Structure formats: C-alpha cells, structure tokens
A and B are shown apart, each in its own frame.
Chain A
Amino acid sequence: MSSKTELQRMIVSLLKTLPKERLTHYASFKQTQLERFQDAKVIEGISEDDLKLQYVALRELVNDKYKNYYKLDDKLLRPKGNPEYYERLLKEIKGDGKETLLTAMRTVVFGK
C-alpha cells in the first residue's frame, strides 16, 4: 500500500509540473488527471503494476520521449509552402503578436 501511495504522490507531483494550457478547452488534461489521481477511491481500484505503468507513461510524455525519438526536421516544421505557418500560430496562441486586420485579410485572400 505504501508503494502505491508513493506512486500516487509521484504521479500527482508530475502532473503539477505540467504547463498551463495556452488555450481554454472544454476540458483540461492536467486538472482532470489531478482530480483523478488525488482521489483515494480511484487509486484503491488500480493495482500497483498498473499505477506504475501510468506513472511511466506520464513520465515518458513529460520527457518528450517520442518527440526526441522521431525527430522531425525543418522540412515539416518550416514548410516550404508556408514557412511562417507555425511561428504565426504560436505567436497568436501565446499572445506575443496579434494578427492585424491587414495580415488577417492577407491570409484570407492569399492563403498564407
């Protein structure tokens, strides 16, 4: 039981380190999972091995295992057809540089 409590503590502390979502969605992964893994009843119904696997999976996601394993290069991340696409998108989401009416019109008319 103590090992399960330890795993629960590790999962919760890992979930707490997750960044706040930039956009407000209908549900937040961080909040929902925090509530789930802080609930003693939920933990009771999960075996120690399964809980460990949940922790391992979460840790691998946090450590960007797949982003580093399947590395993409600039071919996809700065696409030829629209090199600024992801930069503009992230700027807009982060609120660093808002689109003006002119740039928005340009996107609608020319597609980029």
Chain B
Amino acid sequence: MLRLNKANIAHSARYLSSTPRVCFQYRNSILDKYKQETEQIDAPSQLAKESSLPIIEQDLKIKPRQARMKMPLLSDHKVESPGYELSGFAKTFGELFVKIFRIDMDITRSGSVAGSLYFAECKKQGLFYPNEPMSETAKFYYETLNLPKSFSQQVQITLLHYWILSVRMRALPFKYAREYQQKLVDRIFKDLELRMSNELGINSNRIIEGNLKDYHTQLLGSVLSYDEALVSDDITFASALWRNVFNGNPNVDIRHVEALLAYVRSQLYVLNKMTDREFGFGRFKFIPPNEVVKPISKSQEEQMRQKVKEEFEKMTLPSQKSVLSVDE
C-alpha cells in the first residue's frame, strides 16, 4: 500500500518540462516512412561464422613448410623492445640536435612508425607458430575463414594489410607518403628474408632470392588489383581478395569473402576518418575482426578532430614537430 502511494506521488509530481522529446517524435508516426533505416552490420568474424558450408580442402599440391623456430616479432635490439625509453641525457641531446640542425622530423619519424610500429601491425595479423595458441586475428584467418596454414598465406595477409596502410599513406603529402611506404615495404621484405632463413630453415640463398622475387611480383599484382577494386565496386574487390587471399579456391564460401571484404572496408573507413598527424604519429591499429566498426556522424567527427587538435597543441618539443595536417 505504501509502495503504491509513493509511486502515485512520483507520477503526479512530473513536471511539464520533463516530457521527453522522443515522445513528441513518436507521436508523429506519419513521418516514419521518411526515416532512414539504419543498417546493422555484424563483426566480420560473426558474419563468416554464420555459414556452415561444408569445407572442401583446397589441393595446394605441396605440403607447406612450417616454422622450426620462433624469431622475435620485431628484433632483438633494445630500441624495439616494449617499454624502452631513452635516458634523460640522450633525450636532451636528441632534442638539441633536432633543433640545431632543423631535422625534418616527419621523415625521421617515418622510420620508427612505418618501419617498426606499422610493420609489426601488418606482421602480427596472420602470424602463427605450430604448437602455439593462435592470436584472435590469426584464428579469424585460419579457423574461421579456413585458409591454409602456410608461410605464403601469412605473406598474403601481411601484403593485404600493407596495402590498407599504403592507401592511407598515399593521402599524406607526396614527400612523406613515399618515405612511409618505402620504409614499410623494405622492412616487410627484410623480415621475410630473415624468417625464410631462420624460421623455415631454408639454407639455399638462391631459393630465398627466388621466393623473394615471387613475393615481390605478388605484391605488385595484389596492389594493382586492390587499387583497381578500391575505385570500382565490391564484387571487383571480392574477386581480388578471392584471387590473392583465398588462393582462387573454386569451393570458397562466398560469405567468407564477404566477411573479409567487410573487414578491409571497415579498416579503410577508420583510416579515412583519421587525420594525417595521428596516422603519421603511429596512432592507427587494425580493428580486430571480431569487433564492429560503425560509421560516425559529422558532429562526432568534429569532436574527435577537436580532441586531436588539443592533444597535438600540447606537443611542443622539437622532436614532436610536424607539418602533417591535424584538420584532414
């Protein structure tokens, strides 16, 4: 009885101004037909898992060679170890050096950002070692999409991620775009060479050279097809992914191709919304395939830009100088 009274009091004490705007809009249901339907999209891995098409293993005609040992993700050098920081003296000396000789920090930064940070991002997506638990992203490629567990497959996944980044790098001023792309691709090929020799245990330099040339040709071919696909349509993109990542498998699950396409397009969307400065400073990370990227509104974009501007305005050290745009 007491509870009922309280509820009644609360109900009767509602103020006119508290009437929510939603109710008013709801009453005008006649306008509902003009509302734009917001399409819902699932995460790429969820999309792919929806299909239960029987798997027909593709005959690769060879048994892929597996890694016999594990190399570090980046290198043994202390500079590339996580959590490394320069000493106070080295920092002060470095800042002074940059200031006196007016070093172009955007070019200098391209080495550590593209050649190290972005390289690691590209490499770890499809990376796996036998007898080791797979990362979530590797599971997406080898378990959900059921791609063959081979070194060449890892290379194709790395090249796809290289291309995604290179599309964004192209949108930087030409001088810097070239540096970022060059450093990333150089590091990828250097790493392939080392991994073939150390991890796969290929002793013949001639075979390694031959494989590197093949991978280089594949890089040129896949970049051309992806570029063509980017400015064409989804089906051209799907065909390019099917040829390069799905190895032209005739029994491919089309839902899997669609899921990978959704993944690539979502990464490009995030990169499109990122400013040059953020991207140049290595702020980008690939969104895992089990997460959904939802398009943002103009106002949300403006808010993000404002935050980025405020953050970069505080960076005043000589080594933090940059000519890359914070507006686009």
Instruction: Mark A residues whose CB is within 8 Å of B.
Output: 18-19, 21-23, 25-30, 32-33, 35-36, 42, 45-47, 49-50, 53-54, 56-58, 60-67, 69-73, 75-77, 79-82, 85-86, 89-90, 93, 111-112
State whether B53 touches A89 (Cβ < 8 A): no
CB-CB contacts of B131-173 with A at 8 A, as 1s and 0s? 0000000000000000000000000000000000001111111
17 CB contacts below 8 A, A to B, read: A18-B235, A19-B236, A27-B243, A29-B238, A33-B250, A33-B254, A47-B52, A54-B255, A69-B39, A70-B266, A75-B171, A76-B271, A80-B173, A81-B174, A82-B177, A86-B231, A90-B231
State whether B51 touches A50 (Cβ < 8 A): yes
Instruction: List 4 additional contacts besides A60-B258, A66-B234; criterion CB under 8 Å.
Output: A61-B238, A70-B269, A80-B174, A90-B231
The main secondary structure of chain A at its interface with chain B is: helix
**Cα of A78 to Cα of B14 in the assembled complex, Å:** 55
Minimum CB–CB distance from B263 to chain A (whole Å) comes to 9
Interface residues of B in 92-107 (CB under 8 A from A): none
State whether B171 touches A80 (Cβ < 8 A): yes
Q: What B residues does A76 contact at CB under 8 A? A: 167-168, 170-171, 230, 268, 271-272
Size bin of chain B's contact surface: 35 or more
State whether A86 touches B257 (Cβ < 8 A): no
State whether B243 touches A25 (Cβ < 8 A): yes
Q: What B residues does A81 contact at CB under 8 A? A: 169-174, 176-178
Q: What A residues does B199 contact at CB under 8 A? A: none
**Cα of A42 to Cα of B251 in the assembled complex, Å:** 9
**Cα of A67 to Cα of B171 in the assembled complex, Å:** 19
Minimum CB–CB distance from A7 to chain B (whole Å) comes to 13
Q: What B residues does A56 contact at CB under 8 A? A: 255
State whether A61 touches B235 (Cβ < 8 A): yes
State whether A57 touches B268 (Cβ < 8 A): no
**Cα of A19 to Cα of B281 in the assembled complex, Å:** 41
**Cα of A73 to Cα of B235 in the assembled complex, Å:** 20
The main secondary structure of chain B at its interface with chain A is: helix
**Cα of A100 to Cα of B230 in the assembled complex, Å:** 25
State whether B53 touches A46 (Cβ < 8 A): yes
Out of A32, A45, A54, which one reaches B248, CB within 8 Å?
A: A32
Given A66-B265, A81-B177, answer yes or no on A86-B171 (Cβ-Cβ < 8 Å).
no
Let me know if B262 is at the binding interface, CB within 8 A. yes
**Cα of A18 to Cα of B254 in the assembled complex, Å:** 14
State whether A35 touches B235 (Cβ < 8 A): no
Q: What A residues does B272 contact at CB under 8 A? A: 72-73, 75-76
Minimum CB–CB distance from B139 to chain A (whole Å) comes to 21
Q: What A residues does B171 contact at CB under 8 A? A: 75-76, 79-81
State whether B228 touches A70 (Cβ < 8 A): no
State whether A21 touches B234 (Cβ < 8 A): no
